[in-house]
Chain A
Amino acid sequence: MEEKVSVWTSNRFWRRSATWVTGVASVLLIFLTFDSMAQMKMGSAKDIEKKIDRRIPSPVVINYTIDYKLDPYRGHEIPIIGGEMRRPEGGIKSAYEKKEKFFGRDDYSEKEARELIHKGKLTIQAKNCMDCHTLLGNGAYYAPDLTKAWLDPTWETLAPAYNGKEYAIAAFLQDPPKMAMHERKMPNLGITKEEAKAVVAYLKFMSAIDTNGFPRNFGKIKGAVDARK
């Protein structure tokens, strides 16, 4: 039998409070997770045809030009896929019109593009990229963040010599020490030609993910992507 004590020093009261607080927080988290999962579902080629923005767009974005620009309406940078257009409520959004060649083609079907990024993601995991680099800002801090690596000005300067930046990145991935950019070299991880192409496709796809404006002011130096126009 419990002796009469103030509610504030009653174990029973605190036990019940703990149970309720935990229960309510868990239910809220599960509810929000359902909503987030719906919003984070990978988009389809149809969405792109209809110019519907998805946080994680269809992998067919590899057929389009990708940019990262300040949207005055949302107050931060957003991915601009296939050129920009005005958003009815203000600001800018992707137009999904301007295409560009990716390894010589700009007509990858949804199936082909998905297969490519599937291989790319598997390679990224199999080579432990995340234990030197960060992806979407998560990982290790020994090498640069890869979130917007596709848009990095470094590749723009190397692109002409390789006939396009996708070829430059793929060449780098297959033998990084040969194209080392820093004393802190990336080791040769035995990435094959197919794997390299797939990883580049993944990097391009990842740069089209809407990351709520991370990283901020990307490429502000040396006239890279015009983040602050």
Chain B
Amino acid sequence: MQGSKLYQSQELAIKYFTVAIILFGAQLLFGLVAAIQFLYPNFLFNTLDFSIARMLHINALVVWLLYAMIGAVYWLLPDEAGIEVVGIKLANIAFYILTAAVAIVVLVYLFVQIGPGKESTIWFITEGREYIEAPRWADIGIVAVVLVFLYNVYATVMKGRHTGILVVLMADLIALAGLYLAGMFYTDNIAVDQYWWWWVVHLWVEATWEVYVAAVGGYILIKTLNANRKVVEMWLWIEVAMMFGSGILGLGHHYFWIGTPEYWWEIGALFSALEPVPLVGLFVHVLYDWGKERGKGNEIKNTPAFAWLTVETFGNFLGAGVWGFMHTLPQINLYTHGTQWPAAHGHLAFFGAYVAIMISAMYLAVQGKAGLERLRMTKAGWWAISLISVGVLLMTVSLTVAAYTQTMVERGMHGATWEGYFIAQANRWFVQGMGWRLAAGLAVIVGYGFLVYDLLTCAKKQPVEEGEKEVAAAAA
């Protein structure tokens, strides 16, 4: 890629990133509403009830991450394969169809909200299953669009270069897309319902998405540090082995209490306890490469992208690894399942594992679009990364305090009844936790403002390099 000449696929990637960052804002907004309702339950009562705000909060999250993930693939695909993406026109049409479908779903969520207890509601309003509430018609639309995307990826790689990163992505994306089908059916048996629902949720976020992150992370390392491709790809294969080796059967840690056989206790405990291992590996790998390249005198070519990648590896290890391990063993999970524990874990894990790397990929696109040899961190970029990272960490710690309280009071002392639930919710440690969560959430929203501003302006605000000064002087 020379100068600011972009592949059409990369232009499309920027469209995906743009929708992603807008939906990221929506996610934060509805999260804010839900966080306020925990403290002031009458806030927007009967207008935008908690269930709707919370559904929009998590759906916006999933959808914007998927947008950014597709965007990042369209960004790196022509660069890795060395050719324009095959079927780029179709890819553009698919983008507009998907975006129109998402807009309709969001409008229905906001203004229709719920329906009568009939099949038609499942088809046209909401499926009412956490994270995958999207009505059935939208499911089918999503599958169609994803098929176009898979065709683009496969046809392009077949025709162009087959790098290790692309091979991993090809295998991973087909698994990722196929798993969505596991969530597209209805059953009266809630245990079987949740069994397959976890195939989508867990095998996305704790298996296929993690492998996706490892592959895209490898690409970002090559781009920002000029890391050795052979070493990056070797690590990538090791990561795949460890992530799928632990993550696939780690699914068992969701099968402790939903009407499933007892053997999932042992299987879930063992494999999910191993899940943090590859995340440590990812973190060590990034820092090791950084040190090695610095030793050779090589500079980071995109400081914000690299900084967000570092936040990614550390946040992934801390949020998904440490916070996940804290309550993954059945002996502990018996008391923490269904409390604020998973909320605490979920916030840092989604941020650390996925949000940070997607922002990193966006900075790569900013650099590519402007055709800059180097992209440095601006003041706004620094505020964005600091406020968002510290904010999410503080939210997590606050939720953890609330979670401890809930577990001890509701589960430990009061035997998980409704009365026990509300006694725990009114406990001052719990309420304080919720208060700090709201405050930290506001910091994240301010950070988001800086982030959007920085993504739009940082390419123009780069300090002039020494070398360029001389060139300019010579030209004058």
- Could you list which residues of chain A lie within 8 angstroms of chain B, going by C-beta atoms? 9-11, 14-15, 17-18, 21-22, 25-26, 28-29, 32-33, 35-37, 39-42, 55-56, 114, 117-132, 134-142, 144-145, 147-149, 152-154, 181-185, 187-192, 195, 198-199, 206, 209-222, 224, 227
Contact = CB atoms under 8 A, between A and B. Distances in A.
Contacts of B164: 11, 15
Interface in B401-438: 411, 413-422, 425
Contacts of A29: 248-249, 251
Contact of B422 (A138, A149, A181): A181
A126 B116 contact: yes
A15 B237 contact: yes
Contact of A114 (B133, B188, B260, B419): B188
A114 B188 CA distance: 9
Contacts of B240: 18, 22
Contact of B415 (A121, A181, A221): A221
Centre residue among A10, A189, A190, A216 by max chain B CB count within 10 A: A216
6 contacts: A40-B259, A125-B129, A126-B114, A144-B417, A154-B418, A213-B334
B417 A152 contact: yes
A145 B260 CA distance: 18
Contacts of B245: 21-22, 25
Given A40-B259, A131-B51, A218 B190 contact: no
B184 to A, nearest CB: 13
A117 B191 CA distance: 14
A137 B234 contact: no
A36 B251 CA distance: 13
A127 B117 contact: yes
A118 B51 CA distance: 22
B50 interface: yes
Nearest to A115: B188
A212 B128 contact: no
B415 A132 contact: no
Nearest to A184: B41
Given A140-B130, A141-B340, A216-B334, 18 more contacts: A21-B245, A32-B263, A39-B261, A40-B192, A55-B259, A121-B188, A126-B114, A126-B118, A130-B128, A138-B197, A138-B258, A144-B421, A145-B416, A154-B418, A185-B41, A187-B45, A212-B260, A219-B415
A220 B419 CA distance: 11
B117 A40 contact: no
A152 B38 CA distance: 23
B122 interface: yes
B116 A181 contact: no
Nearest to B261: A39
B237 A211 contact: no
Centre residue among B119, B129, B415 by max chain A CB count within 10 A: B415
Centre residue among B38, B46, B116, B343 by max chain A CB count within 10 A: B116
A185 B42 CA distance: 8
Nearest to A134: B338
A32 B251 CA distance: 11
Interface in B125-142: 125-130, 133
- For the side of the interface on B, what is the size category? 35 or more
B71 to A, nearest CB: 26
A175 to B, nearest CB: 13
A82 B256 CA distance: 25
B24 to A, nearest CB: 20
B400 to A, nearest CB: 13
Contact of B257 (A122, A142, A214): A214
Contact of B338 (A141, A217, A221): A141
A152 B254 CA distance: 24
Nearest to A153: B417
Given A29-B248, A125-B127, A136-B190, A17 B237 contact: yes
B325 interface: no
Contacts of B249: 25, 28-29
A129 B271 CA distance: 31
Contact of B54 (A17, A36, A42, A131): A131
A139 B256 contact: no
Given A18-B237, A28-B249, A127-B128, A138 B338 contact: yes
Contacts of B128: 124-131
Interface in B170-201: 188-192, 194-195, 197
A122 B119 contact: yes
A15 B162 CA distance: 14
Nearest to A23: B244
Contacts of A37: 192, 195
Contact of B125 (A126, A187, A212): A126
Nearest to B242: A21
Given A11-B233, A22-B244, A32-B267, A136 B258 contact: yes
Contact of A183 (B41, B194, B256, B419): B41
Interface in B325-360: 334-335, 337-340, 342-343
B115 A25 contact: no
B259 A56 contact: yes
Interface string B15-45: 0000000000000000000100110011001
A132 B49 CA distance: 9
A62 B234 CA distance: 58
Contact of A140 (B46, B54, B126, B251): B54
